[in-house]
Chains A and B, each alone.
Chain A
Amino acid sequence: GNSVTQMEGPVTLSEEAFLTINCTYTATGYPSLFWYVQYPGEGLQLLLKATKADDKGSNKGFEATYRKETTSFHLEKGSVQVSDSAVYFCALSTLGTRFGAGTRLTVKP
């Protein structure tokens, strides 16, 4: 079945460090891929998306590229800020979106 596996957390970084959160997927067909973010005390928000192979989604300095050959959609940011502290969820969509378990990121000043 369709599923998403993302790196386990928690991840703790210093401000301005480089961030990578790994995500791989298993799916039949050609799903759309997403990253959602959940800030403390808030609901889930769509961060970025990619709908076909080699597409790059980007938003708020975050990027992720849809890699069909490696079935991956890793999230990256060049310089994290304290305000990026949140839980990040990778997800894929094929008639109902499936989510990964989430990766908690803490950024320290």
Chain B
Amino acid sequence: DAGVTQSPTHLIKTRGQQVTLRCSPKSGHDTVSWYQQALGQGPQFIFQYYEEEERQRGNFPDRFSGHQFPNYSSELNVNALLLGDSALYLCASSFTDGYGYTFGSGTRLTVV
């Protein structure tokens, strides 16, 4: 049973560009959450998707947007990249919320 799959694993982008990160949730999970984790820090909540709708959002600007597809997979889009967007982006899936997440291995984004 595959867990959470994220792609790509690593990415280098130039400041001002746009990026799309992808996530396939664990089988049976319907809720996808995205996090940004800077080196040595805890994951910071970006947003959560359930039934193809953004259900909750953390303190991130509108440059960060997402989408959930009917098969529960999800994308995270970041526009107008800044150097400070360089981080590990984690996708986590769950069956509804409150039962604990299964995390993917993350996408390491470097903005130069």
Contacts and interface: CB of A to CB of B under 8 A. Distances in A.
Contact of B45 (A34, A96, A100): A96
A46 interface: yes
A101 to B, nearest CB: 5
B47 A96 contact: yes
Interface string A38-60: 00000111100101000000000
A44 B45 CA distance: 14
B104 A43 contact: yes
B97 interface: yes
B36 to A, nearest CB: 11
Contacts of B103: 43-45
Contacts of B100: 32, 34, 46, 49
A93 B42 contact: no
A43 B56 contact: no
B8 interface: no
Contacts, number: 57
> Looking at chain A, what size class is its interface with the partner chain?
20 to 34
Interface string B33-70: 10100001111110110000001111000000000000
B101 interface: yes
Interface in B1-37: 33, 35
A18 to B, nearest CB: 24
Interface in A64-109: 89, 93, 95-102
Contacts of B106: 43
A98 B43 CA distance: 8
Interface of B: 33, 35, 40-45, 47-48, 55-58, 90, 92, 97-106
Question: Nearest 9 pairs between A and B by C-beta?
Answer: A96-B56, A99-B42, A95-B56, A32-B98, A44-B103, A46-B100, A96-B48, A101-B42, A99-B43
